Amino acid sequence: MSVTPFLELASRAAGVKKTETTLPIAKKGAQVTPLLVGDDLSLRSSLTSPVGYDREIVGLIHNHTEIIEEDQNIQMPYDQFCREISNLDKLSLLWALYKSTYESLAKERQIQCPKQNCKKEFKIDIYLDELIHEDTYTPWDQSQPFYEYGYPISVEKNGFIYEFITKIPSIQDNNRLLSTVSIEILQKNLDQSGSVFSKPQQMVLLTKAARLTSKEDGATAETDVLEEMLVTFHGNIPFTVSEEFFEKYNEHFSKYVPNFYKQVTCPFCNHSYQYPVDLEVKEFGLLLIVISIHKLL
């Protein structure tokens, strides 16, 4: 179909409102355009599968995102976008997508004062601008790009040394793991725990490579094969090793997790506190089934 004056003007109108945001891990700026009618329809059509829905979300974010490079906006090729943008940056893009589409995230949401001697319920409005504070983002401060960086974690248990080279996952890492685990298992995880990945699968998502060494005879083996780590972490890693793994991972990486919250004051007791907002719950009725690192930490 040829581009008519009406279609050209409609296209211009669709891109008028843009929201600028920061990608703290990729260390880039971005501008995001609003959701359109067809986006909602495509999301609804993909709800039958966590994998299909996640891919649809990533594609949708990519389509609406322009990366700011040297004072000009470009749309990264999809493969580069998935490789060089982290799952934590994806949260920032979700905020911008909501902000460009809606000024308000929720109207008259009922919440409860957390103070022990109050616990009264009251209603608040949540606007997107209110969720960004000086401590919302911590920029990536390592010399290497996040997708090249690896942080070593070592755990000794029962005569063995478990060594992991850990990372902040990219969108590509997340997509690859989703494609490797069966839809049935992903759905089971979601039904049982509210998270798409189980604990062993989360460990795989956060790991570049692993090495196991026997202190008794010095025998050692290592792998960076995704499928091999999935099998090993599921059936051969002691629970106490995984607990120490997550504890050490959090100590190093948790500061990079975006902190979205609204500052709230209880009208009954005047207690002031931070009300956390999970941006992966879509306020206009669809659950975004995508992996959030802040649920793993």
pLDDT of residue 7: 58
According to the model, what pLDDT value does residue 248 have? 97
Burial 176-213 (b: 16+ CB within 10 A, else e): ebbeebeeeebbebeeeeebbbbbbbbbbbbbbbbbbb
pTM of the entire structure?
A: 0.84
**Beta-bridge partner residues of 162:** 155, 212
pLDDT for 45 equals 52
Q: List the chain pLDDT tens, one digit each, 297 residues.
A: 565 665 565 555 555 578 999 999 999 999 999 887 767 655 555 555 556 667 778 888 999 999 998 878 899 999 999 999 999 999 999 899 889 888 888 889 999 999 999 999 999 999 999 999 999 999 999 999 999 999 999 999 999 999 999 999 999 999 999 889 888 888 888 778 777 889 999 999 999 999 999 998 989 999 999 999 999 998 889 999 999 999 999 999 999 999 999 999 999 999 999 999 887 644 333 333 333 333 333
Q: What is the pLDDT of residue 297?
A: 37
Residue 227: how many other CB atoms lie within 10 Å: 10
DSSP 17: -
Q: Identify the pLDDT of residue 206.
A: 97
What is the torsional sign of CA 139, 142, 143, 144? Answer: negative
* Cβ–Cβ < 8 Å for 289, 186: no
With CA atoms as reference, report the closest residue to 147 among 124, 185, 173, 127: 173
- Calpha distance 12→62 (Å, rounded): 19
